[in-house]
Structure 1
Amino acid sequence: MNENHFLNRRNKLLDCMEEGVAIIASAPHLIRSNDSEYPYRQSSDFYYLTGFEEHNSILILSKSFTEIKTILYVEAYNAEYALWNGAKLGIEKARERFHVDEVRDSAEYAKEIKELLREHINLYIDLFDESEILIQAKAAAKALRETRGVKRHIHSIRDVTYLIRSLRLIKAAEEIETIKTAIAITAEAHHDAMRQCCAGMKEFQLQAAMSYVFLHRGAMNEAYGAIVAGGNNANTLHYIDNRDTLRDGDLVLIDAACEWELYASDITRTFPVNGTFSDVQKEVYEKVLDVQLRVIEAIRPGVKRDWLQTYSEELLCDALIELGILSGERSALIEAKEHKKYAPHGIGHWMGLDVHDPCPYVDESGESLAFEAGMVMTIEPGLYFRADDENIPERFRGIGIRIEDNILVTEEGYENLSAMIAKSMEEIEEMCKG
């Protein structure tokens, strides 16, 4: 993305702030075992404001009545580090690249933070981050409070993540295009999985087929741990073992997707291992798909997410009654949460720089947010019938179906960003033949 996009985001955050200093830190490296690290992934909030993917970086936004200043701390070039791990951008190149007032050496942050906080009254940080960077900032604030001659000192510590994530809720055009790229690659991977699937394969072999597409297309990261669940494994909602053998006559549920420039996609498709839906599988699949299509059709600006959740639960409960899984009046069944045994999760979640974007779902009064153009949400109804559930007709046992798409709220209504991925039974069976 163009550096101006990140500059605009920083300016929007400054507009949301009262007088004070905001500190936003990059993500640390995480140890996998001993001296081996997990592949690095930048903090979404830090990336949103900078577009910078290096660790040990710090963004400072300082706002007073007379001055606004933006400072970016980065690691200085180190020849030995470059030899082993590759060169960092360094201070001089960072000054050329970023539209900030100053670029400083990260090694100097601890010595300079006290002066940066001097005469400020608000400190904006991630309240739940216990990193050394923020420990040093709070220590500096405490020291200033006890220093003679300092007329104003930090007396309010505020949550900067709430402000950032509120901004992240509405996606700009360039963000939507990035998400579309991630979805396009994910679509290719799901279609490859459908074409390659056959009885006798291992679940991890289908996962490998999708991973190949991601990497071959340049999507270096999965957006989350892939779920490839054959048969009854689909009834474990976060099944990630992906080790079992796919059996003829079973369905396989794949919930897997990639990132592109740190923006996520999140897609689930359920299809027959042998390429042909059985009659009972068609019966259940038709219900889940109908619910999904009707919920998506209801999306438009002004609709509230909690209403959409209620509407989806009503539709799923009706489906369970029509299938003969539940009996009775819908309202009574929902009040007793009987439908939750078979449709336990929400209808969807925000999506963006995180697959579960941590943007607010309610306003400051606790009221559910209404949809606005630019919001991106998953819609993912599911029905799950465990193989050991003797309270349901035997023909349904072991079937688990979820269908998930990524939906953009538009001025006119919605756009299904993942509409190109085979979803109807006819489309899926045709894709499986390939």
Structure 2
Amino acid sequence: MTPSNLPVFQADLYRHRRGQLAARIREQSGSGIAILATAPEQLRNRDSEFPYRHDSDFFYLTGFDEPGATLVLQVDRNTVVAHLFCRPKDPEREIWDGLRLGPEAAPEYLGVDHAYPNTELDQALPKLLADQTALYIRLASSAETDRRIRHWIDRVRGQARAGVNAPSEFRDIEALVHEMRLFKDLSEVETMRRAAAISAEAHLRAMRTCRPGQREYQIEAELLHAFRHSGAQSVAYNSIVAAGANACILHYRASAAELQSGDLCLIDAGCELDGYASDITRTFPINGRFSAAQRALYDITLAAQEAAVDATKPGNTFMQPHDTAVRVLTQGMLDEKLLSLHQLGSVDNAIETGAYRRFYMHRTSHWLGMDVHDVGSYREAGASNATEKPWRILCENMMLTIEPGLYVRPADDVPEAFWNIGIRIEDDALVTQNGCDLISRGVPVKADEIEAVMRG
């Protein structure tokens, strides 16, 4: 019997995903066996672990978030059998660390076919590997994983004179799972919408509470409060709260810097909810009003994002939103004399020579999902040379960010009014049938609306 105190679980969803993976294995190899372990626990210091976070691929196929677990799928022409190895029940350890599902309850609750204590993994794997042709694993993922797989394979090879064959074909399971994860199903989209809504409310809270004289870490605390208060389990990545010149450091961490009146504050922060990330960036004036120079660069950045949003639609490539944003940003750099039209001659030349990269040095988008920089190829399959492969064609149900920016450091050839201004605007976009849906617009993006929020 399944324990009555467990939350409702969508076993059919994960069973369906395992069935999709099995179909891909059949396409490649006819049949095979797949082995996928979750992430190990990691010590933070002598007697304390980091908060545990499951492996995304493992969770995608099982929905199981306990450490010490391994999924094994046996796939033949007509069936797929799911074996789960997990921690056994242990009343003494559960007093200290919390309840465990255990192998007895796992089949009914998780929808797997068989479950065993993880202490039996080394004994069971050689039997499951026997007479399998293709083995799907993470290739070269770690020395310890490679050692265990070699041990299991050697055990099977030791039975050769008894007519037992070991797998002779080794394939990368990540390539198959990551292609699946690139396309979001209805359950994933709904979870990501809720994550984006929580993160948007956190950004609003930060704007409303921001005052000159506060410290960056105090604004970060407001974000963390909003995430956890609304039920998010964690941050999706280390929050960036960057005041003044710090906003020109792309991966800056919130520190003790004081928020000064007249400066901007850039916040790049998102929560993780039920295993899925959100990723939002907003830039706002600490005293509640943009200066003329700040407003000029902000409006350029917003125009670049709007142009990139228009270019995010099925049939366009992954790079088209970036190329579109770059053109708008570069024209703005020339208009505001961050770049010299006299020296460069044209927008096209400023783009071709890469002159714009002085003030905009990152891509406009990345995939978003269970990981904030989510998995999935950015190139189409085809040419043998990766750089010759065309960029990925955007399709319905892909999820990506749209995040242009401008970062101006002091320099003799840059108008002083723009020094130390860093601006980024980022939203999460679901590719739809005819365009895209910005699921993170619960927080304002237009300069006038941001100022109104801070006044309110």
Q: TM-score range by the shorter chain?
A: over 0.9
Is residue 311–residue 320 contact of structure 2 (8 Å, CA) maintained in 1? no
Q: Deviations over 1:206-252 (max 9, x none)?
A: 00011111111111200100000000000000001422000000000
Q: Which amino acid aligns with 2:54?
A: Q
Query: Quick check: 1:155 aligned with 2:172?
Result: no
Q: Which amino acid aligns with 1:56?
A: G
1:191 maps to what in 2? 204
Selected match of 1:141 from 153, 158, 166: 153
Q: Deviations over 1:162-207 (max 9, x none)?
A: 1101000110111101001111111111001001101100000000
How many aligned residue pairs are there? 433
Query: Quick check: 1:7 aligned with 2:15?
Result: yes
Selected match of 2:47 from 35, 40, 44: 35
Selected match of 1:25 from 25, 31, 37: 37
Query: Quick check: 1:376 aligned with 2:376?
Result: no
- Per-residue deviation, 1:364: 2.2
Instruction: Write the distance in 1 (CA, Å) between the matches of 2:145 and 2:68.
Output: 9
Instruction: Write the distance in 2 (CA, Å) between the matches of 1:63 and 1:82.
Output: 35
TM-score (norm: length of structure 2): 0.92
Is residue 70–residue 102 contact of structure 1 (8 Å, CA) maintained in 2? yes
Residues 1-400 of structure 1: pairs in structure 2 closer than 5 A: 2-17=10-25, 18=29, 19-65=31-77, 67-130=79-142, 132-146=144-158, 147-326=160-339, 327=341, 328=344, 329-365=346-382, 366-386=389-409, 388-400=410-422
**Secondary structure at 2:161's aligned position in 1?**
coil
Is residue 63–residue 110 contact of structure 2 (8 Å, CA) maintained in 1? no
Instruction: Write the distance in 1 (CA, Å) between the matches of 2:164 and 2:218.
Output: 65
Q: Which amino acid aligns with 2:411?
A: D
Is residue 114–residue 137 contact of structure 1 (8 Å, CA) maintained in 2? no
Instruction: Write the distance in 1 (CA, Å) between the matches of 2:287 and 2:157.
Output: 70
2:446 maps to what in 1? 424
Is residue 300–residue 371 contact of structure 1 (8 Å, CA) maintained in 2? yes
Instruction: Write the distance in 2 (CA, Å) between the matches of 1:225 and 1:256.
Output: 7
Return 329-338 or 406-415, whichever deviates more: 329-338
Is residue 145–residue 154 contact of structure 1 (8 Å, CA) maintained in 2? no
TM-score (norm: length of structure 1): 0.97
Instruction: Write the distance in 1 (CA, Å) between the matches of 2:262 and 2:371.
Output: 35
5+ long unaligned stretches in structure 2: 1-8, 383-388
| Residues 102 and 134 (structure 1), Cα distance of their counterparts in 2 relative to 1, 3 Å cut | farther
Selected match of 1:401 from 416, 423, 435: 423
2:3 maps to what in 1? none
Instruction: Write the distance in 1 (CA, Å) between the matches of 2:68 and 2:144.
Output: 11
- Per-residue deviation, 1:422: 0.9
Instruction: Write the distance in 1 (CA, Å) between the matches of 2:106 and 2:145.
Output: 20
Is residue 144–residue 150 contact of structure 1 (8 Å, CA) maintained in 2? no
| Residues 2 and 131 (structure 1), Cα distance of their counterparts in 2 relative to 1, 3 Å cut | farther
5+ long unaligned stretches in structure 1: none
Give identity over the alignment, percent: 37
User: What RMSD, in angstroms, separates the aligned Cα atoms of the two structures?
Assistant: 1.4
